[in-house]
Amino acid sequence: MGICHNNIGNIHLKSFRFSEAIDSYEQAVSIIDEERAQVLKKQPNTRKISNKEIYLNESYRKYTKIWANRLFQLAEAKLEKIFHESIIEKSKKHVKDLDDVIELYNTSKSTFSMLGGMSFSKTITISIKTSFAYLIQEEIEKAEEMIVEAESFFKILEKRGFENLDVPESVLMQKLLVQKGLLAKKKGRYREAVEFFTLSLENCQLYDPRTKKQYDISSDIPKKIKEKINKEFKRIKRDFRSFRA
């Protein structure tokens, strides 16, 4: 049943039915959580079992990995819903829910790290998405910290020759460049933002359609930012002439 709910959630998310996707993912998380609990109930009750011993149980490890992955999917759905409402519909009524999204991402990441089953590409993806969540919250410093973390893992992958990736290198690079561009734009560094957006569009042979859709990155964004730069430059030039007069 959990797999069914999870797959239904995937279908809803791809169709931008965010509330339905969240409901399905939450049911999938609840089911796998119950399966984890059932494994613990089967353990002998003669003494208290340490966390280390619990994770030696293969069934519990397997269910916990599935649980962590479903938390990640739930966080994705919630983030996309908030993004759609805050950016597309110009509403900020659900921005407060970002704390829940960030907690889901962090729980997923820490669980994978503890189990030793988290790939660098998944770490990079979660760090970038967490950065994006902080950016919507306007927590710029925290958003930057997450990007620094993502870049550090990307460098490790680069040294290893990008071997055994579960996500194409170009997709990871695009996500990273887009988020760096959004950060630069938020800080008013428009020329720097143009460079990152342009690189994300020109230098990535493969791309993630959801990244382009979610972050609203299209070929005219650098042009729009350049227009804003030129407009600001003309204003400064006009003010300077007035000052000299």
**Stretch 52-61: mean pLDDT, rounded?**
76
Q: What is the pLDDT of residue 86?
A: 72
| Residue 41 included in any domain | yes
Tell me which of 236 and 230 has the higher pLDDT.
230
| Residue 25 included in any domain | yes
- Is the distance from CB of 175 to CB of 199 less than 8 angstroms? no
How far apart are alpha carbons 100 and 111 in whole angstroms?
16
| Residue 138 included in any domain | no
Q: Is residue 46's pLDDT more than 60? A: no
User: For residue 45, what are the domain limits?
Assistant: 1-93
* pLDDT tier, 107 (very low <50, low <70, confident <90, very high otherwise): very high
| Residue 199 included in any domain | no
Q: pLDDT tens across 131-185, in order?
A: 999 998 889 999 999 999 999 988 888 888 877 677 778 888 888 998 999 999 8
| Residue 57 included in any domain | yes
| Residue 63 included in any domain | yes
The single-letter code of the amino acid at 245 is: A
Number of domains in the chain: 1
Q: Read off the pTM.
A: 0.76
| Residue 197 included in any domain | no
Give the CA distances from residue 189 to residues 176, 193, 239, in Å, rounded to whole numbers and listed in that order. 17, 6, 21
| Residue 6 included in any domain | yes
